[in-house]
Amino acid sequence: MPPIVRPEDLDKKQIFLILASPANIRQRNIELIKEISENGYHTIIVTLNFPYNILSKLYAENGVDLKTVSFIDAVTRNSIGSAENVPGVVRFVNNPANLTDLGIAVTEVLKENSGKKVCILYDSVSTMLIYLSSQNISKFIHFVTNKLRLMDLSGVFLAVEKGLDPMLISQLTTFVDTVIDTG
């Protein structure tokens, strides 16, 4: 099976919007992390969909070297109230709707990984709709894509196909370099 994201496009520091069916989104996440890691990148996963402890187990079960991954978890504290940051492994954000805290966490984790080939993966844009308006999501992703470009980093935004309104999809399409519908 060909890669979802071509290594040469990652090396060109492209930004991707990856669309997947609701049934396949977890599998696409795993496939993307494996591909990115196998290409020598350290992946920073901003998870709004699954808690860190679930994703880390899932990745380990699927052969992902967890040393090649850092997590920003916006789910756990919102669900259970408290969780301690583990430097170099996971940073927790209190609420997925707090984009300021999310942005600060991304900046701090990027600093922790300076000097490495880094790719950021946001999982998932569709889940953000539970907490934020399409307009706020669009503004945030515009901010993030510009930050990635200025820092010369690759980025991946994972979303459920047909899970976003047409206006948001059209805006996101203009912010990224490539849209890939994986079904």
User: Per CATH, the architecture of 7-181 is what?
Assistant: 3-Layer(aba) Sandwich (3.40)
Per-residue pLDDT tens for 118-137? 999 999 999 999 999 999 99
User: Which residues have a Cβ under 8 Å from the Cβ of 182 and sit 6 or more positions away?
Assistant: 4, 18, 19, 20, 24, 28
Q: In which order are the strands placed within the sheet that holds 178-181?
A: 90-92, 69-73, 42-47, 118-123, 154-160, 15-20, 178-181
Q: Once rounded to an integer, what is the mean pLDDT over residues 141-153?
A: 93
Q: Once rounded to an integer, what is the mean pLDDT over residues 45-50?
A: 93
What pLDDT does 157 receive?
A: 96
Query: Directed axis angle between helix 52-61 and helix 25-38, to 10°?
Result: 70
Confidence of residue 161 (pLDDT cuts 50, 70, 90): confident
Confidence of residue 156 (pLDDT cuts 50, 70, 90): very high
Q: Once rounded to an integer, what is the mean pLDDT over residues 135-152?
A: 93
Per-residue pLDDT tens for 67-114? 999 999 999 988 887 889 999 899 999 989 999 999 999 999 998 998
Average predicted confidence (pLDDT) for the chain? 93
What pLDDT does 163 receive?
A: 79
Q: What does the CA dihedral 118, 124, 125, 126 come to, rounded to 10 degrees?
A: 170
Give 98's DSSP letter: -
CA–CA separation, 58 and 31 (whole Å):
11
Confidence of residue 20 (pLDDT cuts 50, 70, 90): very high
Give the pair of three-digit tokens for residue 167: 């206006």
CA–CA separation, 75 and 78 (whole Å):
5
pTM of model > 0.75: yes
| Domain-wise residue ranges, the chain | 7-181
Give the pair of three-digit tokens for residue 46: 């901003």
What H or E segment, with its residue span, contains residue 139? helix 134-150
Whether residue 2 has pLDDT greater than 90: no
